[in-house]
Amino acid sequence: MKNPSQLLTITLIAIGLSSPVFAETRSIKIGVLNDASGPYSDNGGEGSVTAAKMAAEDFTKQHPDFAVEIIAADHQNKADVGAAIARRWIDQDHVDAVADVPNSAVGLAVNEVVRGTKAALIASSAASSVLTGKYCSPNTIQWTFDTWAASHTIGNYLVSHGGKKWYFIATDNALGKSMVRDGTSVIKASGGSVVGSLNVPINSPDYASFILQADSAGADVIAFATAGGDTVNLIKQTSEFGLKQNGRTFAALLTTTNDVESSGLAVAQDLIITQPFYWNLNDASRAWSARFIARQHDQSPTAFHAGVYSSVRAYLNAALAAGTNDAPAVIRKLKETPLDDDLFGPVVVRPDGRAIHNMYILKVKAPSASHGKWDLLEQVGVLTGPEAFRPLNEGGCSMVESSKNN
C-alpha cells in the first residue's frame, strides 16, 4: 500500500497567497478525495477536481476577498488509505472540508474521521444511504444521490411499468449491499418481488457465470447494483450473451453518461438508469457542461462531477454566510434555507444532512436517435425530492429526533 504522504496532490489557489492583502483575506481549504486511477476514476477522478476548481473560481469571482484552496488525492478505493489522508489533511494541512469521496466504504471511514472535528465531509459521490441514516453526523452532508434514492426511483418506475420480478447482480461491498437492501424494500412495497441476487468481486474482468445465473432466474428485470468499470463490463458481457433478446429489462442503479458512452449505444440501448443531473436537461445544465467540456479534455460531465461543483459551491456560500469555517456551524447554515441550484434545481438540505432534489429516470437512446457523442439519454420520468429520497423519519438518524426537540 502506498504511504498516504506519497500520494499525488493537486493544488489550486483561487487567490494567490502572495497577495499583499492576504492578511485581511478570509480563506478556506477543501480537499477532493477520490479514485484517481481505478474503476470509479472516469466518473469522478480528475473531472471532480476540475469541477471543484470551477466552483472555487465562480465563488471567488463574486467574493474576491475570500481565498479558496483546492487540493486532491487518490484514496485507491481503500478505506484505511482514505481515512489516513483525511486525518492528515485535517490535523497537519488544516483542510476545512473533504469533498467527493466515491466508494461507500471510504466515505463511511472519512465520516468517522471528521466527526467531532471542525472539518466537514461533503459527500457527493459516496452513495450508501446509511451515511445520512444511522451514521449521520453534524459534520457531514450527502449531496448527489444515494442507494435508497437510486433504487427507489428505478424500482418505483419499472414495477409500475410491468417489471414485477427482479434479480440483482451486486458488487460485494458496502455500495452493492446497500443498493440491494434499499432496492428490495421499494420493489416489495410497490408490489414486486426479488427472485434472487448475487455478489460479485469489484473490478472483475469476467462476469459470465454470474450473468448465466441471473439469466436462469426468470426475472423481468436484471438490475446492476454496481458502479464504474464494473457496470460497463456487465453491460457489455450481458449483450454478448444475448439476454436482451429474451425480452427482459436491464437497469443500472448507479451509472453515468461515461459508463453508457464506454459501453456504446448499440450495446447499452434501452438500459434504464437514474440521475439527478444530465448535461442536456435544460439551458443551465447545457451552459455549465459546455464550460466543463472545454476544460476537461472534451469529456461530458457526469452527475458526480456536477455534484462536486454544486455541493462545493453551496458549502462555500454557507461558510461565507456563517462567518466561520467551523463545519457544524456551516452545515447548520446550509440547512436553514432552501437553495435554487443551477444544476440540481430546488435543493433542500435536511436535518440528517441529506440534500434532496429531483431524480430523473433516463433511458439509453438507440444509435439512430443520437445526434452526437454525448447525446446518449432520453428522459422518461422524474420524481421530486420528497418522492425520490427516503423519508426523514425512516433513516434512523439521531439528529432527526433531536431537531424535533429543539
Report whether pLDDT(25) > 90. Answer: no
Is residue 402 in some structural domain? Answer: no
Tell whether the torsion through CA atoms of 164, 199, 182 and 46 is positive or negative.
Answer: negative
Average pLDDT (266-291) is: 96
Percent of the residues in the chain that have a pLDDT greater than 70, as a whole number: 92
Give yes or no: residues 362 and 223 share one domain.
yes
Q: Which of 6-15, 35-44, 118-127, 182-191 has the highest average model confidence (pLDDT)? A: 118-127
Domain total of the chain: 2
Is residue 99 in some structural domain? Answer: yes
The reported pLDDT for the residue numbered 245 is 59
The reported pLDDT for the residue numbered 175 is 83
Is residue 341 in some structural domain? Answer: yes
Give yes or no: residues 184 and 113 share one domain.
no
Q: Which three cell numbers stand for residue 86?
A: 483525511
Is residue 367 in some structural domain? Answer: yes
Q: Name residues whose C-beta falls within 8 Å of residue 83's C-beta, 6 or more positions apart in sequence.
A: 106, 109, 110, 112, 113
Is residue 312 in some structural domain? Answer: yes
Q: What angle do CA 228, 233, 238 make, to 5 degrees?
A: 130
Give yes or no: residues 232 and 298 share one domain.
no
Q: How far apart are CA 127 and CA 335, in angstroms?
A: 20
Average pLDDT (141-163) is: 93
Q: Decide: 246 and 217 in contact? Cβ < 8 Å.
A: no
Report whether pLDDT(218) > 50. Answer: yes
Q: Rounded mean pLDDT of the chain? A: 90
The reported pLDDT for the residue numbered 22 is 35
Domain harbouring 181, CATH code: 3.40.50.2300
Is residue 394 in some structural domain? Answer: no
Strand 249-252, strand 339-341: pairing: unpaired
Domain that holds residue 116: 4-145+282-354
Give yes or no: residues 247 and 378 share one domain.
yes
DSSP run (H or E) holding 283:
helix 283-295
The reported pLDDT for the residue numbered 403 is 56
Q: SS3 string of 317-371?
A: HHHHHHCCCCHHHHHHHHHHCCEEECCCEEEEECCCCEEECCEEEEEECCHHHCC
State pTM to two decimals.
0.89
Secondary structure class of 390 (helix, strand, coil): coil
Q: How far apart are CA 287 and CA 107, in angstroms?
A: 30
Q: Which three cell numbers stand for residue 3?
A: 504511504
Q: Which three cell numbers stand for residue 213?
A: 445465473
Instruction: Give residue 12's pLDDT band: very low, low, confident or very high (50, 70, 90).
Output: very low
Helix 104-114 to helix 174-189 angle (10° resolution) is 100
Using left for φ > 0, alpha for ψ between -120 and 50, and beta otherwise, residue 356 falls in: beta
Q: Name residues whose C-beta falls within 8 Å of residue 35's C-beta, 6 or more positions apart in sequence.
A: 41, 44, 45, 74, 75, 76, 77, 102, 103, 228
The reported pLDDT for the residue numbered 404 is 55
Q: How far apart are CA 82 and CA 38, in angstroms?
A: 14
Q: How far apart are CA 334 and CA 71, in angstroms?
A: 23
What φ, ψ does residue 162 adopt, rounded to 5°?
95, 0
In sequence order, the β-bridge partners of residue 347 are: 339
The reported pLDDT for the residue numbered 23 is 39
Give yes or no: residues 166 and 132 share one domain.
no
The amino acid at 222: I
Give yes or no: residues 271 and 292 share one domain.
no
Give yes or no: residues 322 and 230 share one domain.
no
